[in-house]
């Protein structure tokens, strides 16, 4: 059932789930506006409980009713909301249109809009790295949590992801970002592991072995550096070793990184299919 749900959602998501009703930030925003005042200041336990409540409620309901049909329907609905993010896809389409027009100013503005403005790390990121990280946050990570922890897992991850950016939670932003980084840790290492199999194995393996065990390195750095290595590219701080043509290709590497992410998603689905075939997941 897991594989069927994933395939159905991924097939429909790009063409039929673009309305606001299928955007997770709408529901997380409503939940935050209604219940954020219940979270006590400097109380990690109440904050964690606030993040967990939606996942716990849905998990308990599914457990009590114990219906495979209901599980299937709820999985479709929840993944339809939690996987993908239409605003990001729309900005990427606009970026590609600007690139076709060779509109450098529009491309720079769209890159800024695609980036997380609260993170200084985005300043030196290429457009490809920015898109790769967005693909991880809105596709790979929620799929990972669904496969490993089921519907409650993906609800927990999505709630944590969007609550972190809510204005009403700004007093807890530092703690939420720390928790979110913990949530990124395992899936980021596994996703980056896939990059070496669908890219240049030797370069990707060297980068992965160097970075995967580095607990102090942010998951974003691990993911993007392994991806760049797997595609034979260098990070921004290595520009001195490149000629202008190579540097321009690196800056405008959106399609390259998107293709890498798509190949990696196919690999992930193949792994899920094999695990299903051997009875490791339902």
pLDDT in tens, 78-121: 999 999 888 888 888 888 888 888 888 888 888 888 876 544 34
> 60 Cβ partners below 8 Å, 6+ apart?
none
Q: Is the dihedral of CA 258, 260, 264, 266 positive or negative?
A: positive
> 94 Cβ partners below 8 Å, 6+ apart?
106, 110
Position 256 scores a pLDDT of 87
Q: Could you say which residues of the chain have pLDDT below 70?
A: 116-124, 234-252, 282
Position 229 scores a pLDDT of 92
Kindly report, residue by residue over 179-206, the tens digit of the pLDDT: 999 999 999 999 999 999 999 999 889 9
Q: Which one, of 159, 130, 139, lies nearest residue 223 by Cα?
A: 130
Position 117 scores a pLDDT of 56
Position 85 scores a pLDDT of 87
Q: Which one, of 182, 196, 193, 194, lies nearest residue 145 by Cα?
A: 182
DSSP state of 136: I
The four Cα atoms 211, 217, 221, 226 give a dihedral, to 10 degrees, of 10
Cβ burial 112-124 (10 Å sphere, 16+ → b, else e): eebbeeeeeebee
As given in the structure block, the two tokens for residue 247 are: 């540097």
Specify the DSSP element, H or E, that contains 4: helix 2-16
> 26 Cβ partners below 8 Å, 6+ apart?
20
């Amino acid at each position: 059932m897991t594989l069927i749900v994933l395939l159905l959602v991924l097939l429909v998501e790009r063409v039929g789930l673009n309305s606001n009703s299928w955007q997770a930030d709408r529901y997380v925003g409503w939940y935050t506006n209604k219940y954020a005042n219940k979270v006590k200041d400097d109380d990690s336990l109440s904050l964690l409980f606030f993040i967990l409540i939606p996942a716990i409620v849905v998990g308990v309901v599914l457990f009590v009713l114990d219906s495979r049909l209901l599980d299937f329907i709820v999985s479709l609905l929840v993944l339809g909301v939690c996987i993908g993010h239409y605003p990001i896809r729309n900005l990427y389409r606009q970026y590609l249109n600007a690139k076709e027009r060779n509109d450098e100013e529009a491309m720079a503005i769209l890159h800024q809009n695609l980036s997380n403005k609260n993170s200084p790390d985005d300043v030196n990121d290429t457009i490809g790295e920015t898109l790769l990280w967005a693909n991880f946050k809105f596709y790979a990570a929620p799929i990972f949590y669904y496969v490993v922890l089921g519907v409650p897992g993906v609800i927990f991850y999505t709630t944590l992801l969007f609550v972190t950016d809510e204005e009403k939670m700004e007093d807890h932003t530092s703690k939420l970002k720390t928790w979110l980084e913990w949530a990124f840790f395992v899936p980021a290492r596994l996703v980056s592991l896939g990059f070496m199999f669908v890219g240049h194995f030797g370069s990707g393996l060297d980068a992965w072995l160097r970075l995967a065990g580095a607990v102090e390195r942010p998951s974003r750095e691990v993911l993007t550096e392994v991806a760049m290595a797997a595609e034979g590219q260098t990070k921004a701080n290595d520009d001195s070793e490149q000629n202008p043509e190579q540097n321009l290709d690196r800056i405008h590497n959106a399609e390259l990184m998107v293709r890498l992410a798509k190949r990696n998603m196919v690999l992930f689905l193949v792994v899920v299919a094999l695990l299903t075939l051997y009875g490791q997941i339902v």
